[in-house]
């Protein structure tokens, strides 16, 4: 084998070795499934008349490129028109142009940009929150139960100022506060891959 042939052979061998080395890592990355049927996304706002509700149609994914829990990415997509406060009048107003404006902006989304394990079972999740077509950075604080079992419950909350997103009006005959609190309760289970690695 001449010199150029040896170089080509070495390069091919290196590519093969790297490919074989990389494949198992990717294949072993944990894959989690969030089960919407037993999960919920709710909100509440202090108001002269109680204003609490939930969203009936949404989807969430939790993906990990590695076993490091802080490498995860949480994505939530909510169908804004699925809002349910138990009042047709309130729902109609929230869907309208003064609030969610579902005709122009049908989805409310959260895309995490950083996950920090702040305690044995607690996490701070920074992300891009989009509502009414306006995107701002918000923080979701989560608590995990079932750590290390392959399935568990993720509960958390996030608060934001509705006026930061152009929701400046009140509902007729109801005076509402600016602060909106969102509560998530997500049931998740690992369907493949290795267990996550947590900080002790």
Superfamily of domain 29-192: Lipid/polyisoprenoid-binding, YceI-like (2.40.128.110)
Mention every residue, 6+ apart, whose C-beta is less than 8 A from residue 34: 60, 61, 62, 186, 187, 188
Mention every residue, 6+ apart, whose C-beta is less than 8 A from residue 14: none
Residue 157 has pLDDT above 70, yes or no: yes
Phi, psi dihedrals of residue 7, rounded to the nearest 5°: -65, -45
pLDDT tens string 40-56: 999 999 999 889 999 99
Residue 108 is given by DSSP the state E
* Under 8 Å between Cβ of 126 and 133: no
Residue 173 has pLDDT above 90, yes or no: no
pLDDT tens string 104-143: 999 999 999 999 999 999 999 999 999 999 999 999 999 9
Side-chain-side CA neighbours of residue 200 (13 Å): 0
On average, the pLDDT of the chain sits at 88
pLDDT tens string 56-97: 999 999 999 999 999 999 999 999 999 999 999 999 999 999
**What per-residue confidence (pLDDT) applies to 27?**
57
Mention every residue, 6+ apart, whose C-beta is less than 8 A from residue 78: 41, 55, 57, 58, 107, 108, 109
Give the span between the Cα atoms of 45 and 82, in whole angstroms.
18
**What per-residue confidence (pLDDT) applies to 2?**
52
Domain layout of the chain by residue ranges: 29-192
Beta strands in the chain (DSSP E): 31-34, 40-47, 51-55, 58-63, 73-79, 83-84, 107-117, 122-131, 134-145, 151-161, 176-192
* Under 8 Å between Cβ of 76 and 60: yes
Residue 162 has pLDDT above 50, yes or no: yes
Residue 187 has pLDDT above 70, yes or no: yes
Q: Of 195 and 200, which is predicted with more confidence? A: 195
Give the span between the Cα atoms of 124 and 197, in whole angstroms.
17
């Amino acid at each position: 084998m001449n010199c150029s042939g040896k170089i080509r052979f070495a390069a091919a061998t290196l590519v093969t070795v790297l490919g074989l080395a990389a494949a198992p890592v990717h294949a072993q990355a944990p894959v989690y499934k969030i089960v919407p049927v037993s999960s919920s996304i709710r909100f509440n706002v202090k108001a002269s008349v109680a204003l609490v509700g939930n969203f009936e149609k949404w989807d969430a994914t939790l993906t990990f490129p590695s076993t490091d829990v802080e490498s995860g990415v949480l994505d939530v997509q909510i169908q804004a028109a699925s809002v349910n406060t138990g009042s047709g009048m309130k729902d109609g107003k929230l869907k309208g142009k003064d609030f969610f404006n579902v005709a122009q902006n049908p989805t409310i989304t959260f895309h995490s940009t950083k996950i920090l394990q702040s305690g044995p079972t607690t996490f701070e999740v920074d992300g891009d929150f989009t509502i009414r077509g306006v995107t701002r950075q918000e923080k979701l604080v989560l608590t995990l139960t079932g750590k290390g079992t392959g399935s568990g419950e993720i509960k958390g909350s996030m608060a934001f100022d509705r006026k930061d997103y152009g929701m400046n009006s009140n509902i007729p005959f109801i005076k509402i506060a600016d602060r909106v609190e969102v509560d998530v309760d997500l049931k998740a289970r690992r369907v493949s891959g290795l267990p996550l690695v947590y900080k002790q």
